[in-house]
Amino acid sequence: MIKSVVYGARDDGVTLIETFSDKGMMIRQNQTNILYSQAIDIENKGYTYTETDIPIESEDIPDKTDIAMPADYELALRDLGVNV
């Protein structure tokens, strides 16, 4: 099941929401079709996610170019105004 919890807040007070699978599966952002192990978004951004049947640590993840990597998370967090 997809879970969303408050991740924290930026310096300007904007709330960040973490979305993940409680079963340890990859999640797919419906708007971009990109797979994530977890997603961190600005509250009320409107992104939606679907849980896949792909385990996070799987070797069978299709087209690894569509997988968010740690550097992608850092860049996205910087875009959200988080100091990393």
pLDDT tens for each residue of 32-68: 999 999 999 999 888 999 999 999 876 655 554 556 6
For residue 66, the model assigns a pLDDT of 59
More confident residue, 75 or 38: 38
Give per-residue pLDDT as tens, 11-30.
Answer: 899 999 999 999 999 999 99
| Cα 12 versus chain centre, distance | 21
Task: Collect all residues with Cβ–Cβ distance below 8 Å to 57 and sequence separation of at least 6.
Answer: 24
Supply the pLDDT for residue 77. 79
The pLDDT score that the predictor gives to residue 81 is 82
Helix (H, G, I), strand (E, B) or coil at 4: strand
In the beta sheet, which residues pair with residue 67? 35
Domain ranges of the chain: 2-79
d(CA 84, CA 74): 7
